Amino acid sequence: MKRRAFFTLTALLLLLSISVQAQNPFFEEFRTPFKVPPFDIIKEAHYLPAFQEGTKRHQVEIEAIANNPESPTFQNTIEALDRSGDLLDIVNNVFFAMNSANTNEEMQEIAKTVGPQLSEHFDKIRLNDKLFQRVKAVCREKDDLNLTTEEEKLLEEYYNEFIRGGADLNERDKAVLIEINKEIAVLILKFGENVLKENNAFELVIDNEEDLVGLPEAVVAGASETAAERGYEGKWVFTLHKPSMVPFLQYSAKRDLREKIYRAYLNRGDNDNEWDNKKILAKIVSLRVKKANLLGYKTHAHFVLEENMAQEPDKVYDLLRQLWKPALKKAKEEARLLQKMIDEEGGDFKLESWDWWYYAEKVKKAKYDLDEESLKPYFQLENVIQGAFTLANKLYGITLEERPDLPKYHEDVRVFEVKEADGSHIGILYTDYFPRESKRGGAWMGAYRKQSKRDGKTISPVICNVGNFSKPTKDKPALLSYDEVLTLFHEFGHGLHGLFSNCTYRRLSGTEVATDFVELPSQIMENWVSEPEMLALYAKHYRTGEVIPWELVEKMKKASHFNQGFALTEYLAASFLDMDWHTVTGTEELDVNKFERQSMKRIGLIPEIISRYRSTYFRHIFANGYSAGYYSYIWAEVLDADAFEAFKEKGIFDRKTAQSFRDNIVSRGGTEDPMTLYVRFRGAEPKIDALLERRGLN
């Protein structure tokens, strides 16, 4: 009887599996406008079967290319590689975007399952000797093939991918490499998951109204609503999400509570609990060294930087040191200024890292008669979004039209169709701007589908911008801090990079560029944010509609260099920490906190400032794609400061300059050497002068 019941259950599960697959939206072309993902019908149960089927189909396509009896050509080998794996590409893009923006335990378990499977799948492709021999054969004949610049670049990319993927290794080392990559894939997922859980686990619950002293009304209202959502009626809750934590650090007069929330933020992944990241990141670093050595590189940084503009670690360190000296000098001056205010107020204590935001805000108020709260009413989220869209229209003539008819994965999401000036379709942009427990921290851009061309037709991009900005309250709309405004414009710049792509091959399209070049199209957008002509277009009081007063703009300009020592020093410290981790040559698993302390001691970081990211929650380098690449933001800032000079010379809304920037940089993806593209736009290589002036360090 039990045996019969077992067979009945097995048959039921098999039928259920077949039913799920038959109804799986990934197994047919999306029947939505513009073929966007049908988020309204995609379920967690669809992902694993789609990954399995996508991997299987991709492997069949790869075998067909590798075993093609015809002589290798660019079309039947290189182009065929780029066009393979359509189903896997789609499910991969959608799933990992959702795992970042709208995850749950089931999604995280799927990620742990498919992570090592995908790593092994792509390793087997790169280690397929038959396929590699065909790629090499095309490479040998490239000078006689009359290839376009983009085709040459695609060939170079695939050849380098095979070499850097271990195609020249012996069979034993290939097997070792596969295991290393699988293990790294699991560890980086676990690292990011731990940071998310640590973030969500902390609550600063306040039940005494006196402990709210100094906090602005809107901040208190937001904390009250958070408390109500979490079942703390009549109390106030602050979290480690930036829109909650940062205002608390800026305005709370309760020093002990500032320390409590700040320490919780600093110690994420370093609490010796189930979410501790020390052993995980030490293992990641060790495995990365082993992999680099296996492939013939001295360190992981040498392996990574070979494909970036910097090319080698020494050039990165040279740039960081060049900026470190003036930044640290200015930070020390700022620290003395803050300590002076503490002393004048009768504070019998030494400035600590959890005091910096609070006293910096007080000094800014005293010195420039400017505080964050006086700006926020002019930065209503709706107006800021429209400001970014207006800027894109003035520069490029494009329009963004909201499409509420398109499916979305969460009620916070909005969807826009992006069109050229003549009304022709460019692509789709999803925006998702509010924090929640299912979303990781930070802000980013992603692509559900990258732009490409096939059989004479353009496949339009489907792009997303995700953030964690201040939420609306019962009484007020979402009012952004100035930093949040910069972030929104920054990510919109990444979005335009994906939307404006005009490439044939998806391997090279959109943001598929060197890590230290990818931030140029995003960071340049930040330059417009505080320009008076731009502010007049979007910085309007949420109640009165009044444009931000000229006096306030003048105060912003005068205060623009304030606290730049702190901002640059904490960023550079994180960049040094990243490079130090990834120029490690030994494979032993290091003591994480000891290593970090030594790294910061070497550069002379003052104790009043902590690295922007401590190792145990440094997602950029241990869970995302910025290992040995966090320096990219300042590298790109040299580029964007220099590039914006071109706009200032001709007028900040000059269409001709904007079109040149779009044609020569933003639309070109990774089809040419990045410096070649930059010089084509600017006429010369960038100088550091504009950056130093902007930061007030010259």
Set 193, 361, 417, 491: catalytic member: 491
The string of DSSP codes covering 105-127 is HHHHHHHHHHHHHHHHHHHHHHT
672 is catalytic: no
Distance CA 253, CA 10 (A): 63
What's the token pair of residue 625? 């794609």
CA neighbor of 460 nearest in space, from 469, 470, 471, 449: 449
CA distances to 321, 547, 571, 610 from 614, rounded to whole Å, are 20, 40, 11, 8
What's the token pair of residue 391? 């800027």
Distance CA 528, CA 306 (A): 33
What's the token pair of residue 238? 């602050």
Helices (H) and strands (E) in the chain, counts: 28, 9
Q: Phi/psi at 400 (nearest 5 deg)?
A: -125, 120
158 within 8 A of 164, measured Cβ to Cβ? no
DSSP state of 71: P
Residue with tokens 């990620």: 111
How many CB atoms sit inside 10 A of residue 425's CB? 12
**Strand ranges for 127-264 from DSSP E:** 204-206, 236-238
181 within 8 A of 119, measured Cβ to Cβ? yes
Instruction: Mention every residue, 6+ apart, whose C-beta is less than 8 A from residue 630.
Output: 574, 575, 578, 613, 620, 621
Beta pairing partners, 206: 236
Instruction: Mention every residue, 6+ apart, whose C-beta is less than 8 A from residue 663.
Output: none
Distance CA 479, CA 469 (A): 9
Distance CA 80, CA 78 (A): 5
509 within 8 A of 458, measured Cβ to Cβ? no
What's the token pair of residue 98? 């959702």
How many CB atoms sit inside 10 A of residue 420's CB? 12
Distance CA 447, CA 510 (A): 9
Instruction: Mention every residue, 6+ apart, whose C-beta is less than 8 A from residue 109.
Output: none
Distance CA 519, CA 526 (A): 11
* Contacts made by residues 126-131, CB under 8 angstroms, sequence distance 24+: 126/161, 126/162, 126/165, 126/166, 126/167, 127/165, 127/166, 127/167, 127/169, 127/174, 127/177, 127/178, 128/62, 128/66, 129/167, 130/66, 130/67, 131/62, 131/65, 131/66, 131/77, 131/162
**Strand ranges for 284-411 from DSSP E:** 399-402
606 within 8 A of 332, measured Cβ to Cβ? yes
DSSP state of 31: -
DSSP state of 349: S
CA neighbor of 671 nearest in space, from 75, 151, 306: 151
- Annotated catalytic residues are 491
